[in-house]
Amino acid sequence: MGNAKSLKRLSRYSVVESANINAELGWNVLPAVDIGSQTQAHQKLSEEAYWLIIYSDSDVYFTFSCGATDVNSSANDLIWPAQCLEPIRVPRGFQEDKTKPVYLHLKQVTSVSSKFARVVEL
């Protein structure tokens, strides 16, 4: 019975999505996000964003959600290292309502003023 649920869950994705392949990625530079002094910051992502490149001036906690008011948890969220240019896949599986946008939430690990995160959607 567990396999049937897994297959049903996977069948909602196209072949391209299931294979984790993106044939025509875009390049959309978003406005820089102010993360200075451990400010909770968020960035609304476009529906066309499959991957992100995040470049931050300092280490940041990051998470994704469907709400702009959600906050980062220093106890649970992953840390994105400063000056890292590795792409990260935009998770969409947690969206119960596919019409709601996905938000990227960022919070500086160590409080320092005048720090920014730059985000590029692919």
CATH code, domain with 95 = 2.60.120
CA distance linking residue 48 with residue 24, whole number of Å: 10
| Residue 2 counted as domain residue | no
| Residue 19 counted as domain residue | no
| Residue 94 counted as domain residue | yes
| Residue 110 counted as domain residue | yes
CA distance linking residue 7 with residue 72, whole number of Å: 32
Assign 4 to helix, strand or coil. helix
- What is the pTM assigned to this prediction? 0.77
| Residue 15 counted as domain residue | no
- Of residues 94, 48, 42, the one with CA closest to residue 71: 42
Domain count along the chain: 1
Q: What is the pLDDT of residues 19-64, one digit of tens each?
A: 555 556 789 999 999 998 878 899 999 988 889 999 999 999 999 9
Is residue 6 predicted with pLDDT exceeding 60?
no
* Residue span of the structural domain in which 102 resides: 25-121
| Residue 75 counted as domain residue | yes
